[in-house]
């Protein structure tokens, strides 16, 4: 596990490329960059929802520090400066800048990343008795970029609205909520 680092620094192009290369190896990086950034984002979004469901607030993007595990995956988010106050602030001051930066770094469509955020949130809310901050509204509200990220298919199984691209790497394969498997 690394010490907390400024998120802005972790997401500098050359540094993030080196992180992805170390994490996934030269067989995949840079040829599968969109898939790798998509996969990395899932860990980041899981950390976001953990912070919020634990009752803490999330720092604004520019003030966020991220702790990476030994492999280079995000496991904890902290920050001492300004925090997001409410769901609109969360979207505008943290998630939107993050999605924009990752989309640029990974040459991946923002919709894929928003889908990852929504799928991770939906999974985080499964079995949670109390939705702190009413995060579920992000999935239900039509003007949210996470709206309907996950639904139920005809057989009642959870299914993503957008593909996370994991199927493009053989050892990763289709995610468990893949919309391509109908």
Greater confidence (180 vs 18) lies with 18
pLDDT computed for residue 130 by the predictor = 67
Task: Enumerate residues 6+ apart whose C-beta is below 8 A from 177.
Answer: 119, 150, 158, 159, 160
Mean pLDDT of 129-139: 79
Q: In angstroms, rounded to a whole number, what is the distance separating the alpha carbons of residues 52 and 13?
A: 28
Task: Enumerate residues 6+ apart whose C-beta is below 8 A from 125.
Answer: 49, 53, 131, 135, 136, 139
Tally of CB atoms within 10 A around 140: 11
Model confidence at 27, pLDDT cuts 50, 70, 90, reads: very high
Judge if pTM exceeds 0.75: yes
pLDDT computed for residue 132 by the predictor = 59
Q: Provide, rounded to the nearest whole percent, the portion of the chain with pLDDT above 90.
A: 72
Closest CA to 101 of 16, 174, 175: 16
pLDDT computed for residue 20 by the predictor = 97
pLDDT computed for residue 131 by the predictor = 62
Q: How many helices (H) and strands (E) in the chain? A: 7, 5
Mean pLDDT of 21-45: 96
**Does residue 80 carry a pLDDT above 90?**
no
**Does residue 5 carry a pLDDT above 90?**
yes
State the chain's mean pLDDT as an integer: 92
Model confidence at 40, pLDDT cuts 50, 70, 90, reads: very high
Length of the chain: 182
**Does residue 174 carry a pLDDT above 90?**
no
pLDDT computed for residue 14 by the predictor = 97
pLDDT computed for residue 133 by the predictor = 62
């Amino acid at each position: 596990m690394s010490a907390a680092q400024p998120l802005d620094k972790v997401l500098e192009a050359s540094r993030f490329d080196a992180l992805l290369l170390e994490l996934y190896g030269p067989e995949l990086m840079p040829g599968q960059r969109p898939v790798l950034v998509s996969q990395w984002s899932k860990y980041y979004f899981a950390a976001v929802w953990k912070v919020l469901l634990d009752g803490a607030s999330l720092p604004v993007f520019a003030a966020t520090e991220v702790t990476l595990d030994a492999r280079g995956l995000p496991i904890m988010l902290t920050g001492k400066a300004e925090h997001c106050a409410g769901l609109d602030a969360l979207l505008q001051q943290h998630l939107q800048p993050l999605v924009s930066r990752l989309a640029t770094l990974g040459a991946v469509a923002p919709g894929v990343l928003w889908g990852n955020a929504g799928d991770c949130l939906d999974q985080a809310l499964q079995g949670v008795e109390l939705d702190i901050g009413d995060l579920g509204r992000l999935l239900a509200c039509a003007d949210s970029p996470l709206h309907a990220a996950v639904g139920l298919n005809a057989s009642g199984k959870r299914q993503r609205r957008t593909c996370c691209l994991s199927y493009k790497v053989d050892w990763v394969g289709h995610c468990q909520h893949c919309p391509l498997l109908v």
